[in-house]
Amino acid sequence: MSVLYLLLMLIFLFTHRRDICSRLWPAYMTLLGTLLVIQYAACSQIPSILVESLPWDSTDNETIRLQQWLYLPSTSYQPDPRKLIVDFLQFMLVAAQWRVFKLEQRPNSDSYGGGSNFPVLIDTLPGPNDRDFISTKESYLDYLRHAVFYWFYWLSLAIVFATGVSWITLFCLGYMILSFIYLWMGQNVMIRRRANLLAS
């Protein structure tokens, strides 16, 4: 089921417009709720009560592993119900986001706290209230921000590079290549145009 959840989330990842996401979100939430009920029924052994044997039941180890990976109900074993906790939390977060989408559709949504949710793809000049905490530090919070945005960039690249060096697989080769590219670009990544940043 997690692969299906991943494929559904990829739809929203490549949809950059918030209005399209808000229209697709109720269907996504309904599908998640339906799949959660089906998974709960599989954990409760309801299919094994209704039928004597299921077509995918087998004693072969590989088939049993595939059944567990696909989270299929079985008469020989019970799926792990602890996996449903994370699915339920995902459903709760999706429902909370749906509530935010409903608040944004109100006529007085600009007066609601939290700022606007307009896309940030437009390169705008900083306003008078936007402070530059990299060049001028006025408080300890500015030093903390500088550490997070400036030094943790290098730390995360070092971790990605160490991950790429530790194993010999194609994924690790990709980690090494990407870390070399970002190490080569250095801090210039932070001043690239936003549309180029999202595309990379």
pLDDT tens for 49-99 read: 666 666 667 777 787 777 777 777 666 677 778 888 988 999 999 999 999
Question: Are 155 and 68 in a shared domain?
Answer: no
Question: Are 147 and 82 in a shared domain?
Answer: no
pLDDT tens sequence across 158-168: 998 888 888 88
Averaged over 150-165, what is the pLDDT? 88
Residue 180 within any structural domain of the chain: yes
Residue 67 within any structural domain of the chain: yes
Residue 172 within any structural domain of the chain: yes
For residue 33, the 8-state DSSP code is: H
Residue 160 within any structural domain of the chain: yes
Q: Which two tokens stand for residue 58?
A: 């087998």
pLDDT (0 to 100) of residue 199? 65
Is this structure's pTM higher than 0.85?
no
What is the count of structural domains for the chain?
A: 2
Q: Where is the domain boundary, 107, 124, 156? A: 107
| Burial track 46-59 (b if 16+ CB lie within 10 A, e otherwise) | eebeeeeebeebee
CA distance 78 to 84: 13
Structural domain containing residue 17: 2-107
Question: Are 154 and 75 in a shared domain?
Answer: no
